[in-house]
Amino acid sequence: MSFDGDLTRSTAAALAAAIKGGDVTAAEVTQAHLDRIAKVDEKVHAFLHVDTEGALAKAAEVDAKRARGEQLGPLAGVPLALKDVFTTKGVPTTCGSKMLQGWVPPYDATVTRRLREADVVILGKTNMDEFAMGSSTENSAYGVTHNPWDLSRIPGGSGGGSSASLAAFEAPLAIGTDTGGSIRQPASVTGTVGVKPTYGGVSRYGLVAFSSSLDQGGPCARTVLDAALLHAAIAGHDPMDSTSIDLPVPDVVGAAKLADVKGMRIGVVKQFDGDGYQDGVRQRFHESVDLLRELGATIVEVDCPSFDYALPAYYLIAPSECSSNLARFDAMRYGLRVGDDGVNGVEEVTSLSREAGFGPEVKRRIMLGTYALSSGYYDAYYGSAQQVRTLIMRDFDRAFADVDVLVSPTTPTTAFKIGERADDPMAMYLADLCTIPSNMAGNAGMSIPVGLAPEDGLPVGLQIIAPAMADDRLYRVGSAVEAALNGKWGRPLIQEVPSL
């Protein structure tokens, strides 16, 4: 099998096939990616921790299985970058926060465990906005991650480390989490593929909680098929997660291989195509809609009026749940402890530790959420936001009664400059304008790259949204668009990323 002399630019599917066929060893593939990380990550800063010893040991285990004639799984020996919000036994988990600096979990998250069982090689933990709160990865306590397309720009957030690792060819696969768009928005601005599965489709056990009714782990990759293979490896019911759905996993891999939209009805969301969208983003989006029509789909305009209220409702619900979830970081059991001098009491130590351990954005959301839940304001704020959430679900139900999937731009603009929105929280929050409704309803969403914006030469993403437990429709549509565009361009868009 030919890799054009560079293992790091191959797809996960091709690497797995080569390892299984004996064309290359898992150790060689892993070492190539570790070498790539050593070469470029000083500029990109995608990783917070690289587990060289653990990765090489896992690769050796895969090679030993093959030597014994054991059957290898679809992703055996393929390297992966894991967002630092999933617990990893024996490997630091910080959530991008000083509050958990140096914490080494005693157990694996279910996603981590399933990756290990699938013989995926975990290279290390990726950078993220602190406790997954942000849209740029600028809120990490350990420094900003840079977008490989332009190192002066953000890689999206909160999972910018995972998306940047893919675009920098440091890993062929990555895992992210999506609370309001933190898989899809980074995928959009880095020219990669990111999927938010149906809420409950992938276990949240061991995923450090930000907003429990919204958080969802999911796959990130450079191709739709690679994302499908990873989705299949991590999805499925988990008795350790009370919100896990006890239903068969949709055939996402089969759908990705189908790559056909003939006869499908595809809705264009009226609310996500107007003022406030960058011209190049709108241009590539409309080209994508025209392409879907050419491929045999019927295009229908869909009106979802409650989507206009999704952003403010989200920024009441998510902070409210965050203020409850982050109360566990009290400096008593694990994590940072400040002021424990034998004089200060429990409350003083907790207060000093939170002051030192939490960053500005986390404090902002805790305060906002605590206020929204306070006596006398609960119904006016949190209660009203939940009513809006119900209206959003109803809009989706009406839309999906008429169409198979919905499409929109993933995010209103391409990647913005680092620091450009740091002092303007509202401008930062607007990056998730198109992605938030899917989290509020709990259905499935995907972002795929559909070209570069003419005005700045940066990637643009197409968002595809499917009903709950119809995740396979995402892959059917996404792979069809990907195949058509690759044929048009003659090569995958990701190959255009500037060399680091």
pLDDT tens, 129-148?
A: 999 999 999 999 999 999 99
H or E stretch covering 366? helix 360-373
Cβ burial of 379 (10 Å; 0-12, 13-18, 19+) is exposed
Pairwise CA distance, residues 304 & 273, whole Å: 12
Q: In this structure, which CATH number among 3.90.25.10, 3.90.1300.10, 3.40.309.10, 3.40.30.10 belongs to the domain 7-266+407-496?
A: 3.90.1300.10
Pairwise CA distance, residues 295 & 193, whole Å: 20
Question: What's the pLDDT at 427?
Answer: 87
pLDDT for residue 488 is more than 90: no
pLDDT for residue 500 is more than 90: no
Alpha carbon dihedral 252, 464, 306, 183, in 10-degree steps, equals 80
Give the global pTM.
0.97
Pairwise CA distance, residues 375 & 496, whole Å: 54
* Residues 6 or more apart in contact with residue 167 via CB below 8 angstroms: 147, 148, 149, 155, 190, 191, 192, 494, 497
Q: What is the mean pLDDT of the chain?
A: 96
DSSP state of 47: E
Question: What's the pLDDT at 294?
Answer: 97
Contact indicator for 195, 99 with CB cutoff of 8 Å: no
The CA-based angle 430-431-432, given to 5 degrees, is: 85
Pairwise CA distance, residues 16 & 229, whole Å: 11
- Least Cα distance to 162 among 127, 204, 113 occurs for 127
* Residues 6 or more apart in contact with residue 129 via CB below 8 angstroms: 96, 135, 136, 137, 138, 139, 140, 157, 158, 160, 182, 361
Return the structure tokens found at 406.
Answer: 């919905």
Which positions are annotated as active-site residues?
83, 158, 182
Which of 245-254, 267-276, 315-324 bottoms out in mean pLDDT, i.e. has the lowest?
A: 267-276
DSSP state of 235: B
Q: Write the pLDDT tens digit of every residue in 158-195.
A: 999 999 999 999 999 999 999 999 999 999 999 999 99
pLDDT band, very low/low/confident/very high, at 490 (cuts 50, 70, 90)? confident
DSSP per position, 113-181: HHHHHTT-EEEEEE--SGGG--SSSTT-TT----BTTBTTB---SSSHHHHHHHHTTS-SEEEEE-SSS
Question: What's the pLDDT at 317?
Answer: 96
Q: Write the pLDDT tens digit of every residue in 337-349.
A: 999 988 999 999 9
Q: Write the pLDDT tens digit of every residue in 24-43.
A: 999 999 999 999 999 999 99
Look at 342 and 114; give whichever has higher pLDDT. Answer: 114
> For 410-415, what is the mean pLDDT?
97
> For 420-430, what is the mean pLDDT?
89
Contact indicator for 138, 419 with CB cutoff of 8 Å: yes
DSSP state of 435: T
Q: Write the pLDDT tens digit of every residue in 205-252.
A: 999 999 999 999 999 999 999 999 999 999 999 999 999 999 999 999
pLDDT band, very low/low/confident/very high, at 425 (cuts 50, 70, 90)? confident
> For 244-264, what is the mean pLDDT?
97
pLDDT band, very low/low/confident/very high, at 5 (cuts 50, 70, 90)? low
Q: Write the pLDDT tens digit of every residue in 61-94.
A: 999 999 999 999 999 999 999 999 999 999 999 9
In the chain, the percentage of residues whose pLDDT exceeds 70 is 99
Question: What's the pLDDT at 494?
Answer: 87
Question: What's the pLDDT at 1?
Answer: 41
269 forms beta bridges with: 302
pLDDT for residue 2 is more than 50: no
Pairwise CA distance, residues 336 & 324, whole Å: 19
Return the structure tokens found at 41.
Answer: 């990550």
Contact indicator for 265, 404 with CB cutoff of 8 Å: yes
